[in-house]
Every structure is written in C-alpha cells, then in structure tokens.
A and B are shown apart, each in its own frame.
Chain A
Amino acid sequence: MASTTLQEHEVAHHFDDLEQEFESQKFGMWLFMASEIMMFGALLVGGLFLLYLHPDAFAESRPHLDWRLGALNTFFLLTGGFTMARAAGFAQQREQGKVRTNLILSLLLACGFLVVKTIEYKAKFHHGLLPGHAFHGEGFTSLHAHIFFGYYFVATGLHALHVLIGMGLMIWCLKVSKRVQFTRDYYTPVEFAGMYWALVDLVWVFLFPLLYLVG
C-alpha cells in the first residue's frame, strides 16, 4: 500500500551516503544496548547476591508472585519481539501498510503486558507486600521479605519504564511511516525500535526466572 505522497529519506549533511548513515546509526544503537545491558546486568547481579544473602526471604516470598501471570507476560513480550522483527522485514520490502499493522500488534501486546503488570502490582499493594518500612505482609517468618519485594518493585519498575519507552518508539515509527517511505536502505526507525524491544525482552527473560521461578 505504498502511498505515492511519501517522501524519500534525506541523508544528513555530515554523512557521505545512506550506507554510512545507516551503519553509523545502527552501530550507535548497538552500543547503547550494550550500555543498557551493563546497567541491567549490574541490577541482576545485585539480585543474585541478595538471593545468596537471604535465601529464606526469597523462598518465602516467591510463592506470592503468580508464575502464570509472569508466563503470560513473557508470551506478550516475546510475541511482540516477533511482530517487531516482521515490521523491520516488511519495511525493507517497502510494505508500508504491513509495517503499520505489525507495529500496532506490537503496541497491543505491550499494552497487554502493562495491564497484567498493573494487576500484579495491585495485588501486592493489597496484601501489603511493599518495599522497606511500608512492608506489612502477614505470615512471614523471614525478617528480610521486604528486601525481596523492594527488589521486585525496583527491577520490574525499571523494566516497565523501558517497556513504556519501547512503546514510545513504536508510536514514533508509526508517525514516521506516514511521512517517509521505508526502503531496503532506509528503515532505521523500525530497526531501532525492534532492537530496543529485543532488549526489553532480554531483560525480562532473566528477571522472570530470578523473581518468579528460583528460590
């Protein structure tokens, strides 16, 4: 459905050609992902260390998370990764319409993730399973369950923030798709949003077992 009113992308002044521009931007995006991975990596190492420090708190707290909801969310995210990859593929084939369909599907899946996350957060608030001094869960023998839930909120909260940013990127791609024709040489926005979503997936794939399954 490529519309005839779409413009071709213009190369920025300081690049020689499309290829140099695309390669540079993609390399930059990879470096940004590497830096994000270092950040989440440290967070995960911190989580593993807390698990080692307070195994009792983890063992006792984990059953309060519903692994089925976690698995459903894993499904939402990974399927979103698939539709984002499809969008990037269609963008290279100048299939502007299919790009949009896949972007919208990804957005819906991301919304699904956030809805489930909200349901989970609400339940934690309801049962007083909160960080630090706010913790007033009942029936815990471990003295450190507040650390588990503190970590849970920090880690999933930071991840959810990245989900929101990823959704922002998808909306940006939708806007660009109405203005500029994607081609084999220029599909940078879709490629970036897809890469970013892969990061969101990757972080979750580690957080899910650490919080819901281990311990």
Chain B
Amino acid sequence: MTAHVHDNINYLKTSKGLKSWLTTVDHKRIGLMYLASILVFFITGGLYALLFRLELWTPNKDFLSVDQYNNFFTMHGVIMVFLVVVPGIPGALGNFVLPLQIGAKDLAFPKLNLTSLYLYWLGAILAVISLLAGHADSGWTFYAPYSLSKNPAVMWMLTAAFLLGFSSILTGLNFIVTIHKMRAPGMTWFRMPLFIWALYATAIMQVFATPVLGITLILMLVENFFHIGIFDPALGGDPILMQHFFWFYSHPAVYIIVVPAFGIASELIATFSKKEIFGYKFIAFSSVAITVIGFLVWGHHMFVAGQSEVADTIFSFLTFFTAIPSAIKVFNWTTTLYKGSIELRTPMLYGLQVLFNFTIGGLTGIILAILSVDIHLHDTYFVVSHFHYVAMGTTMIAFIGGIHYWWPKMTGRMYNEVVGKFASLLVFVGFNTVFFPQLIMGSQGSPRRYYHYLPDFQIFHQISTIGIIILAVGLFTALINLLMSLRRAPDAPQNPWGARTLEWEFAETPPVLFNFKETPVVTHGPYEFAKEGA
C-alpha cells in the first residue's frame, strides 16, 4: 500500500487526478463528491420550481403547457426528495463528519460507501433518462393507478428511485455499524455529538423503512409490465394497498429527511452559544423517539382515502405523539440560547432559521393531524407549505448552515463572512415569502398541483413567486461566496469556531488521510465549553 507514505498529508493532496477521486474509499472525498452531486441536483430541482412558479403568476397559461406544468412539478418533487433531501445531509455531511466526530479512521465499510455513491449516480442517470424518455407526470408519490399507465418516463423514475433507495440502505447500514464499533477510546455513547445521534436515528429508518419502498417499486414495475393486478383496481387490485406500502416508507422518509437537520441545528446552536447544550440526553433520545413513532404514523396520509374511522383515529392520535420529541428539541435549543454567549456567525444564522422555520413546520403538522381539519386542508397549498417548512425550511437550511460550518474543515478555506450573512438573510426572507402565503391560501381551500386557479388566489401566488426569486438570489450568493473562497490560499485555522467536538479539536484543517495523526482519546463531552483544555 503506497498510501502509508502519504498518511500524514492533507487528504486533498494524497493523490491527484480524476481516477484517484473515482476510486477513492476515503469517506471525506466520497462526502465531497456527494456534496457536489447533491448541489447540482438541488439547483436543477430548484430551477423546475422557479419555472412552474413563474407559470403560476397568472391563473391562466403563461408559457408552460398543462403537460409541461405536470411534468415540472413531478420532476421538482422526485429530484428534490430522492436526489437531494433524502441522501443530502447523511451522504454529504454525514459521510465527511461522522468518522471525524467519533474519532475513527474511516467508516466501517469504505468500499460499500463508494458503492452507495455509485448507486446514487446510477439512480441519477436513470432520472435523467426519464427526462429524455418523455413526461413523468405522476407526482413524486407515484400513486396507482395513474402511475400504472405504462408511461416510460414514470417507469424509468421508479427504477431510479429503487436504486437510490438501495444506496440509502447501504449508507445507513454503514453508519450504524461505524457508530457501534468504531468509536475512539473515551467516546462513550453520551459523549457523542448530537449530530451523530441524529445520523444514528436516521440510519435506523434508512435500513428498516427503505426496503419496503424497494418492494413497492418492484411491484409497481412488474405491474406496469405484466399487469398482475396487485395495485390496479381494473384487474382486481387495491390502489390503497399501494398507498399503505408507499407511506410505510415515505413517512419515515420524512424523518430521514429532517432528523439529520436537527443534528446539525444542535451542533450550530451549542457551538455558537458557547454553552453546554440544554438537555443533551433528551435531545439525543428525542431523535430515537421520532424514529420509533415515525414508523407508526403513515396512515395519516390516507385520512380521506377511504381508510376506516378506527384506523384514522389511531393514526391521528399517534401523529400527535411526534409533537413531543419535536417540541423537546425546539425548547431545548431555545433554552440553550438563553444566557449563552451568542455569536452570530453565518452558520449560526442558518441555525436560528431552522429554529424559526421548524416551529412553523412542526406546528402546521399538528394542525394537519387533526382529522376534521385535515378533511378541509388535505391536498391544499397548506400541505405543500407545511412540508416545505420542514424539507426546505428545516432540512435544506440546516444543510446549508452545515456546509458553512464544516466548509473550513473540508476545504481549508474561510469564506467571506459579510457576504455569507447577507446571503443567509436573503434566504430567510425569500423562503418565508414563498411559503407563508401558501399557508394562507391553503387554509382558504386553494388546491395544490392545479395549473389553473381561482383569480382570488392570484395575489398569494404572486407574492410566492416574488419570494422564490429572492430565495434563488440568496442561494446563488451563498454558493458563489463559498466557491470564491476556493481561489484563495488555505487560511482556515484548525478550530475557527472554538468548537469542542473531535473534528475541530483534534483533526487538522483539512484532515490528514486517515483523519488523525494518532488515535484521539476523548476526555470530555461534545459541548463542555466551561472547562478549557482537553
């Protein structure tokens, strides 16, 4: 192994050339490749959203046909869910940070990790093929029987989602084993950073829920090809069975999307308050509690689909339960801020946005869990706004905050702080301008996914469309700010934020090939700011 010669060199410099990246088993490089891929798809999915929001400027046709409109919101949904928010934080930041934070040399299965990335790329390629094969227009939920109409674009999409699911399972498996078996000496379970707890809870859902999506997609493909009649009512099948299967995965998937974001929020809020996080164990276990409850609430997506009243009541009741661990997090973050020495650096600005947006995203979820209210709100813009407050307002904002937080560690460079703060302000204003009006028009009954809408709702659509332009400007400013830093000479100190976790205290910036020059020995918790010197 020639690698030994370069053991103590910065991981970006150990070897050069495209081939060295494509064949690497280093979790840090794999994380960076995920990051680049995910950002490309985030921009793609975002452009789709920008285009159909512009179309919605007036209630009638502006520049997209009905078909194109249906295709655009489907592509936006599929790309954002399967290629961005589900793999996003674990694939990019989890991969890079997890071994560093627990003091391991790599993930337990480095080659499997690379396999996950290749499966992700393969899934992405199939999604692009789908784009060329026609108009996928089923929405990201692929509901039967519409998705069984042999539309080749939808079939490519189903296959893509299957491969992406496989990739997600392998990542989750890798994370669970790594967290159990690879922790450095002294890194007890309760000294693990909360980001690790969040990734752990997420990984459990990835491993146990995703295979159900896998079999659902297989059955739908087989149904498309051979017309077996499992889901197709015309052949004696049951389309609601498909919804049950789909949401058995896709509800936990919502938590796969959001729980890692909670982890990042905990890191940001504790580090930039320079204060021991309030209720560490409660936050840690609330992630696990969300995982457990998350498996038992899928029926709340089918309140108006003809489910029995008994099932409706039970699912509604269980859904209320998810409020408890979610609220624990929000309260504990807020309490951490109280009397902390708050430093408003760029990552922290995103951390605070998460706190704000998730409070709205979470509370609107409770409103939707009320049976009688849901009958009115189901399939309106209220639902769209609710899950965007979670998937975009919480997950993507935390993701962007996390990128700003770990960027110096990844690249060795600091970005422009003033531009970074300005961008985060634009993102905050833009995001809320897009989605707050949607809450209002949804509560007034404006249905989602419609090409034509009542003229009464035009003002809300127009505010929303203005919002997405502000949001896009903010996101591009943030991206350009980050990329510009790469042109500078490496200037980041080892621990620019004064954080107490291993990746900042022990690892160099950027880390060496096997992360640490010698195995770190952990002697304190992740947020012990009062005691100086480890």
Contacts and interface: CB of A to CB of B under 8 A. Distances in A.
Contacts of A23: 181
Contacts of B226: 131-134, 150
Given A35-B208, A39-B215, A147 B181 contact: no
Contacts of B210: 35
A25 B110 CA distance: 12
A28 B177 contact: yes
A60 interface: no
Contacts of B212: 38-39, 41-42
Nearest to A134: B226
A32 B107 CA distance: 16
B210 to A, nearest CB: 7
Given A13-B105, A28-B109, A132-B228, A146 B235 contact: yes
A46 B237 CA distance: 11
A180 interface: no
Given A13-B514, A42-B245, A146-B235, A31 B228 contact: no
A27 B181 contact: yes
Interface in A27-48: 27-28, 31-32, 34-36, 38-43, 46
A82 interface: no
A171 interface: no
Interface in B194-243: 207-212, 214-216, 218-219, 222, 226-230, 235-238, 241
Interface stretch (B168-176, B349-357, B496-504): B168-176
A53 B236 CA distance: 9
B248 interface: yes
Given A24-B108, A38-B212, A49-B241, A132 B229 contact: yes
Per DSSP, chain A at the interface is: helix
Nearest to A53: B238
Contacts of A162: none
Interface string B159-185: 000000000010001101110111000
A160 to B, nearest CB: 14
Contacts of A13: 1, 3, 105-106, 514
A154 B222 contact: yes
B208 A154 contact: no
Interface residues of B, number: 44
A154 B176 contact: no
A20 B181 CA distance: 7
A14 B241 contact: no
Given A27-B180, A35-B173, A144-B236, A151 B216 contact: no
B219 A147 contact: no
Contacts, number: 116
Nearest to A49: B241
A35 B228 CA distance: 25
A76 B105 CA distance: 44
A150 B229 contact: yes
A96 to B, nearest CB: 26
Chain A contact-residue range equals: 35 or more
Given A31-B173, A35-B208, A42 B215 contact: yes
A143 interface: yes
A49 B245 CA distance: 12
Given A24-B177, A28-B173, A132-B227, A46 B245 contact: yes
A72 interface: no
B233 to A, nearest CB: 11
Contact of A131 (B3, B104, B110, B228): B228
A185 to B, nearest CB: 16
B229 A146 contact: yes
Contacts of B211: 35-36, 38-39, 42
Nearest to B206: A35
B97 to A, nearest CB: 16
Given A54-B236, A146-B229, 10 more contacts: A27-B180, A28-B112, A35-B211, A42-B248, A46-B215, A46-B241, A131-B222, A132-B226, A144-B229, A154-B222
30 contacts: A13-B1, A13-B514, A14-B105, A14-B107, A14-B182, A20-B181, A24-B108, A24-B180, A25-B108, A25-B109, A27-B181, A31-B176, A31-B177, A31-B207, A35-B210, A38-B208, A39-B215, A42-B211, A131-B222, A131-B228, A132-B226, A132-B229, A132-B235, A147-B235, A147-B236, A150-B222, A150-B230, A151-B228, A151-B230, A154-B222
